[in-house]
Amino acid sequence: MERIGFIGLGSQGGPMAERITAAGYPLKLWARRPDALAPFLANGATAAPDIAALGSTCDHVGICVVDDAGVAAIVEQLLPAMRPGSRIVIHSTILPDHCVALAERFAARGIAFLDAPVSGGGPAAAAGSLTVMCGGTTKTYEAARPVLESFAGLIVRMGDVGAGQRAKIVNNALMAANMGLAHAAMEAGRALDLDGTALRDLIKASSGRSFGFEVYARLPTPGAFAHGAPLLRKDVGLLMTSLPDHAGAESLSQAATPFLAAACGD
């Protein structure tokens, strides 16, 4: 059985790591805070003293940190340590072009690369029902799939390296836009003197409903989404960076921005 390494034990990465262990894989972890490792070690995982030690002893290394800078910092320590024939899988949502550049560097050392951002959050990770969007060769995708199946309900190869990231940022930008439109709709309803509770219940059962609206409708105020808004804002920004002059990307950003600003307290 492959030896799995994992870095990034946050609200989503932590349950993913738990699922990998539960599937019976030998799992090695590294975390900036050693105390964060305790519950995982109690369930059978082991700890690496540093990132390089993790990379040198694992066949498959997953990374689930917040952003491009976090991935870059980890990769600089992993790249020299990982063995030819091993595999790195990026679950973070980062720029597609960053993945393409990283894949080239890893390929030069004989290391396979898969970008595999996930959707569903911590509850879906804990339930083993995350959606995983993959970019990479068919060979790498098939090799990584058994590990991904430990925490995923739907796994889709979207194309070559970077395609998983492109799919993820489009999906998240649409989610943000739907929440932004929900915000606009409720503001319009308020301006028309409609009862907010009645309008929310009506829309949830009518043609204007969406998953984004349902999430928005559960919020007492936009500020209650302060935990998720910065991540959605980041992903909308990744889409705009990837398509700076594209009308579709601009439309998604414009729809999302007022709500995200309110949720972030701007």
- The answer to whether 152 and 130 are in contact (CB under 8 A) is yes
d(CA 224, CA 116): 29
Active-site annotation holder among 28, 139, 168, 234 = 168
Reading phi first (left if > 0) and then psi (alpha if -120 to 50, else beta), residue 194 is in: beta
The answer to whether 168 is a known catalytic residue is yes
Tokens at residue 18, please? 């738990």
Cα–Cα dist 15/30, whole Å: 15
The answer to whether the CB of 11 falls within 8 A of the CB of 122 is: yes
The strand pair at 60-63 and 4-7 is best described as parallel
Distance of alpha carbon 11 from alpha carbon 8, whole angstroms: 9
Sign, CA dihedral 213-218-220-221, equals negative
DSSP for residue 90: E
Residue closest to 201 by CA, chosen among 187, 186, 191, 188: 186
Query: For the residues of 8-76, what is the DSSP string, one character each?
Result: --STTHHHHHHHHHHTT--EEEE-SSGGGGHHHHHTT-EE-SSHHHHHHH-SEEEE--SSHHHHHHHHH
Query: Active-site residue numbers?
Result: 168
